[in-house]
């Protein structure tokens, strides 16, 4: 998983990509959906995301770029703090 101020990149199986593809719009856009994950300090993050890219890595492995659509001020502050701390290490 890679984290930035604008979103998160994850690896997933084809099953998740197939599930998300069922909800694509006629224009081929993925819907906005809720994502929950934990930062390494175990603080939970819950936000709305959209798929910005989907890249096949191997037979059953994909990378998804998830752009934050809505992020509360407190969650944004925690994400920024984590990124600043990780960059300084």
Judge: domain 2-88, CATH 3.40.50.150: no
- Beta-strand relationship, 44-58 and 61-70: antiparallel
Q: How many C-beta atoms lie closer than 10 Å to residue 63's C-beta?
A: 14
Domain locations in the chain?
Answer: 2-88
pLDDT at 27: 92
* pLDDT tens digit sequence for 27-71: 988 889 999 999 888 888 999 999 999 999 999 999 999 999 999
pTM: 0.86
Higher-scoring residue by pLDDT: 86, 2: 2
């Amino acid at each position: 998983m890679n984290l930035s101020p604008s979103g998160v990149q994850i690896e997933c199986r084809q099953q998740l990509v197939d599930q998300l593809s069922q909800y694509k719009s006629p224009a081929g856009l993925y819907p906005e959906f809720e994502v929950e994950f934990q930062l390494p300090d175990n603080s939970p993050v819950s936000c709305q995301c959209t798929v910005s890219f989907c890249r096949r890595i191997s037979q059953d492995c994909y990378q998804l770029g998830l752009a934050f659509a809505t992020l509360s001020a407190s969650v944004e502050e925690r994400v920024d703090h984590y990124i600043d701390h990780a960059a300084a290490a």
